[in-house]
Amino acid sequence: PDLPIDEQTGCLPYDPKWEFSKDRLRLGMILGQGAFGRVMKAEAIGIVDGEDVTVVAVKMVKDCTDKDQMMALLSELKILIHVGQHLNILNLLGAVTKDIRFGELYVIVEYCHFGNLRTYLIKNKAHFEDTMEDCENFMPDVKKEPVSSPNKKGPYYLNIAGGPMGSADVLGPSLTTKNLYCWAFQVARGMEFLASKKYIHRDLAARNVLLAEDNVVKICDFGLAKDLYKDPEYHKKGDGPVPVKWMALESFTHRIYTTKSDVWSYGIMLWELFSLGGNPYPGVEINEKFIGLLKSGYRMEKPQYASPEL
């Protein structure tokens, strides 16, 4: 019972109340993919109460004959069911598991219109305004409206934002320092929730935070199904690629992952946010010396748009 839940997925149950019929799912374009997994945009009929059709994201494995990948995705499904729902995590909507023995497994999650924060920041940094206007409200009240409303200023000049694969957006949240704080705060709330459920994420980074409508951000990529090959940030070490620049020292040296090592990754993610999608440790090469550098106390400088307090 004291193990983190991602080490207990074999014991976690699947609750059939999540089962969704494949006939009510219309798959669309690919939103993202790695070596093993694929996420597709889709329409689901009657998956959310009070909505006829809902745009969703569907996670699947590329090679359904690969048992390890199927098990990894199944573990992610079970983790999503076990941890439960929170505004700031990418919530489960349903699953297609009926024919899992024939290699069919779909995990249906919320669709986030603006894609991941790293790509969003890089695409929109030309429109960034360093302002905390209306900042008295940047920490949304959990009990009331859970997030601050999008900053709908002017003639929506951020329409180049584009969701994943360049979908044609008209309205988008504008990009100001206040937005960065709002997102940082929401990620903290999502991580606090995950920690309260004894879930250790192990891969918190701006690429794993998605931006949805109404300025809501959602932490994604749960479970053992982390598709570690999708990004050059994952460097090969030992028996798998690891996101070195986001890892706490003890994770790197002793493979120790805890809520505290997630907090370290959160710090690196803050650096990514407040540098508008910068690459952590700019100019520092990732090699054996990198860990020595960290051990000797080397740390990044404050990114441009972070306050000294942050």
Catalytic residues: 203
- The amino acid sitting at 93 is L
Please report how close the Cβ of residue 255 comes to ligand ADE at its closest, in angstroms.
Answer: 27
Buried b (16+ CB within 10 A) or exposed e, 24-44: ebeeeeebbebebbebbbbbb
Task: Using CB under 6 A, pick the residue from 20, 36, 106, 111 that binds ligand ADE.
Answer: 111
Task: Using CB under 6 A, pick the residue from 90, 95, 180, 244 that binds ligand ADE.
Answer: 90
190 contributes a contact to ligand ADE by CB under 6 A? no
Task: Using CB under 6 A, pick the residue from 5, 20, 37, 39 that binds ligand ADE.
Answer: 39
Please report how close the Cβ of residue 60 comes to ligand ADE at its closest, in angstroms.
Answer: 12
Per rule CB under 6 A, count of chain residues that contact ligand ADE = 12
Residue 137: name the closest of 181, 79, 184 by CA.
181
Residue 57: name the closest of 74, 71, 40, 34 by CA.
40
* Contacting residues for 254 by C-beta, under 8 A, at least 6 apart: none
Residue 257: name the closest of 203, 189, 178, 193 by CA.
203
CB closer to ligand ADE out of 229 and 264: 229
Please report how close the Cβ of residue 44 comes to ligand ADE at its closest, in angstroms.
Answer: 13
CB closer to ligand ADE out of 121 and 306: 121
Residue nearest to ligand ADE (CB): 57
112 contributes a contact to ligand ADE by CB under 6 A? yes
C-alpha distances in Å from residue 107, one per residue of 19, 29, 53, 131, 142: 10, 16, 17, 39, 28
Please report how close the Cβ of residue 164 comes to ligand ADE at its closest, in angstroms.
Answer: 4
Rounded to the nearest 5°, which phi and psi values hold at 57? -115, 140
CB closer to ligand ADE out of 90 and 147: 90
Please report how close the Cβ of residue 284 comes to ligand ADE at its closest, in angstroms.
Answer: 28
Residue 59: name the closest of 77, 81, 46, 44 by CA.
77
Rounded to the nearest angstrom, the gap between the alpha carbon of residue 75 and the centroid of all alpha carbons in its chain is 17
Question: What's the rounded Cα separation, in Å, for the pair 165 and 32?
Answer: 8
- The interface mask with ligand ADE, positions 228-267, x = CB under 6 A, is ----------------------------------------
- Give the residues lining the site for ligand ADE (CB under 6 A): 31-32, 39, 57, 90, 109-112, 115, 164, 210
